[in-house]
A and B are shown apart, each in its own frame.
Chain A
Amino acid sequence: MMNYFPDEVLEHVFDSIASHKDRNSVSLVCKSWYRIERYSRRRVFIGNCYSISPERLIARFPGLKSLTLKGKPHFADFNLVPYDWGGFVYPWIKALAESGIGLEELRLKRMVVSDESLELLSKSFANFKSLVLVSCEGFSADGLAAVAANCRFLRELDLQENEVDDHRGHWLSCFPESCTSLVSLNFACLKGEVNLGALERLVSRSPNLKSLRLNRLVPLDTLQKLLMRAPQLVDLGIGSYVHDPSSEASNKLKHAIQRCKSIVSLSGFLEVAPRCMSAIYPICGNLTTLNLSYAPGLHGNKLTKLIQHCRKLQRLWILDRIGDKGLGVVASTCKELQELRVFPSDPFGAGNDAVTEEGLVLVSAGCPKLNSLLYFCQQMTNAALITVARNCPNFIRFRLCILDPVKPDPVTNQPLDEGFGAIVQSCKRLKRLSLSGLLTDQVFLYIGMYAEQLEMLSIAFAADSDKGMLYVLNGCKKLRKLEIRDCPFGNSALLEDVGKYETMRSLWMSSCEVTLGGCKTVAEKMPSLNVEIINESDQTEFNLDEGQKVDKMYLYRTLVGHRKDAPESVWIL
């Protein structure tokens, strides 16, 4: 029957299939579906840039318009990966540029992006529209200047939490007068000044601008002018927010803010005077997303008063200075809350401001729609976790980080096995889980038994033996990413089922008990995996003895064999 439909019809049908997974499935049905799917595919997501080569990507999807690439392993975020490990985007851009592909959108995470690559990008794709860089590094304002100057139809320039080397503000002046297409501009992570006049003119000539996130050095009077020019904004990131509430400037700002009736997402306050927050109240009632996690200046009453105005909040990112009481206010106000992230304001300090299990229990009781959690806290109890599991069975992401990584339940002095066990048993849709606190093999037995949908698991300082890892590998059929640090898992766990790793994106093990010999065995048995050993100590000391414990191992499936760009500290077996 399928043959009776002309290709165009099937293409049209496939167009409505958005999810990558579904499109991948569609391509496996038969040869003609494979063919039609590949020519009509516009968006590709590559979770590990070393799993495939740009040449093969281009060969299969000549109609590619949007590419998402992720580079370094997740633990690179926490300084566990050498800075020169890899993840360079340049070869991708070069290959795409030479292929004639009409790239329009590039989204990168944890990749090394040089100014050279940004310049090549800006000059190679006439229709380029959207650049999103998350947790990347290697570029400076010069690269941004090239993008601004050359991408004539740029709609989106979104920089999230990147380490940018150079902070000259000239890049913003490089947007030509003819550029009027901007929809989204986020430069909150830049530390340097920008040309304020150029910024005002840019915003004035961008009628479609919906999202604007400023950095700390954009002063209040500029903010006011920008808001007057862009009352249609939907998403606003405020840089500096310090003013005297009784001043004329403050009144003007209030007026400007009130005109912005479409703002549903608010973030920033990188510099803030808490007594000025009342100017924001008029728009709080519309907010669905609020990110105050970079505003340590906001806490106590001023913070809770603000939150009390945000009844429609669905996503809240906050610092632990909010305290358990403040979370109680969240619980009683934000009934629509789906995602909560509580970050540590003083990760290495005394922890007076921190939250405990009490805050989490309050939120779970007040916010039944909660499905995504990242919670840094001083302590956690089994009883609390069991209560949370009962109150919120809908968790898709549950990431708990107790600041002392091996802390037991302070009330019972027991490990937190039962608490996390309750979470995985109750939350049948759980896809991502991060554990912390004192944990034995038992919690992994529970995870293997109940976490049927689990795709990503992060483990640190846990377990008693190889059994822990085995429970997980045997039980979690949908596991894609497993990252482990400082656990007593050794070769027997690693080698039990090497075929499993081919069904996963990657496995990270650091400071565990696996040896060089064990890693070599995996590499020998599974040619479809790259097994990388990262060794940052003095090279001459590195012992080639098979019994030597491996400090960091990162293995991942790949279709293209060993990569050629590894530094000296990385050894691919």
Chain B
Amino acid sequence: METRVNYKNELNLMATELRLGLPGSDDKPSIRNNKRNSPDISEDYSSSKSSSSITMPGDDDQDSPPPAKEQVVGWPPIRSYRRNCIQNTKKNKGEGTGMYVKVSMDGAPYLRKIDLRVYKSYPQLLKALETMFKLTIGEYSEREGYNGSDYAPTYEDKDGDWMLVGDVPWEMFVCCCKRLRIMKGSEARGIV
């Protein structure tokens, strides 16, 4: 948790600073409204479904542009479904996290990079890899991995382990894949 002392020393940085503190850890008053004073504190972060976050600097000063957008709970009034779609679209466009991972292939002179968020499923990803490296990977089966080919797509997960691509649900894979490696030959067969 940040302490107040830091902010005193950092002139004006708070206006543009991205912080990870809990909503409400800021002591700023509510949104600009000459009628209402009580801040609309975020009850929502206790709600499992909520995706709205709250920071509440007052923006009475007209001289500088407002900081990274203040949000009032439930405003503007759009359905959470629509709100989530907007946030997902931003992620997909790379405005949010973006998901570029390195792809290496055994024997290739240099690595490539792909954006995992562009693909929605394993078949799409594998097709892209096949096109990129001009090879065939074959069909995935739970029992036998990728038979019918000398290549096996693998990835390094968050724990640092090398895993066979395809075992876990796609969404989970996208979240924990740090880099890809297309294994070849005897090593590939050995992984099964």
Residue ranges of A at the interface with B (Cβ–Cβ < 8 Å) = 75, 77-80, 82-83, 135, 137, 161-163, 189, 193, 216-217, 293-294, 296, 343-349, 376, 401, 403, 405-406, 434, 458, 460-461, 463-464, 485-488, 511, 536-537, 549, 551
Contacts of A536 in B (CB 8 A): 43-44, 46-47
Shortest beta-carbon contacts, A-B, top 3 = A78-B74, A536-B43, A161-B81
Residue of A whose beta carbon sits closest to that of B52: A79
Instruction: Return the contact of B40 from the options A189, A376, A403, A511 (Cβ within 8 A).
Output: A511
**A344-B76, A460-B75 known; A79 vs B47 contact (CB < 8 Å):** yes
CA distance A487 to B34 in the complex (A): 11
Contacts of A80 in B (CB 8 A): 73-74
The answer to whether B35 and A401 have CB atoms under 8 Å apart is no
The answer to whether B43 and A343 have CB atoms under 8 Å apart is no
Q: Say yes or no: is B71 at the interface (Cβ < 8 Å to chain A).
A: yes
The answer to whether B49 and A163 have CB atoms under 8 Å apart is yes
Residue of A whose beta carbon sits closest to that of B123: A193
Write the B51-68 contact mask toward A (1 if CB under 8 angstroms, else 0). 110000000000000000
Contacts of B51 in A (CB 8 A): 79
Q: Say yes or no: is B11 at the interface (Cβ < 8 Å to chain A).
A: no
| Residues 117 to 151 of chain B near chain A (Cβ within 8 Å) | 120-121
CA distance A120 to B47 in the complex (A): 28
The answer to whether B86 and A405 have CB atoms under 8 Å apart is no
**A161-B82, A343-B78 known; A486 vs B50 contact (CB < 8 Å):** no
Contacts of B50 in A (CB 8 A): 79, 83
The answer to whether A343 and B35 have CB atoms under 8 Å apart is no
Instruction: Return the contact of A406 from the options B32, B52, B74 (Cβ within 8 A).
Output: B32
The answer to whether A75 and B74 have CB atoms under 8 Å apart is yes
In the assembled complex, the CB of A12 is this many whole angstroms from the nearest CB of chain B, namely 42
Q: Say yes or no: is B28 at the interface (Cβ < 8 Å to chain A).
A: no
Contacts of B121 in A (CB 8 A): 193, 217
Contacts of A349 in B (CB 8 A): 69
Show 26 residue pairs from A and B whose CB-CB distance is below 8 angstroms, ordered by the A residue: A77-B79, A77-B80, A78-B79, A78-B80, A79-B52, A82-B46, A162-B81, A163-B80, A344-B76, A344-B78, A346-B86, A348-B71, A376-B76, A376-B78, A401-B76, A401-B77, A405-B31, A405-B33, A405-B76, A406-B32, A406-B33, A458-B77, A464-B35, A485-B74, A488-B36, A511-B38
The answer to whether B48 and A83 have CB atoms under 8 Å apart is yes
In the assembled complex, the CB of B53 is this many whole angstroms from the nearest CB of chain A, namely 9
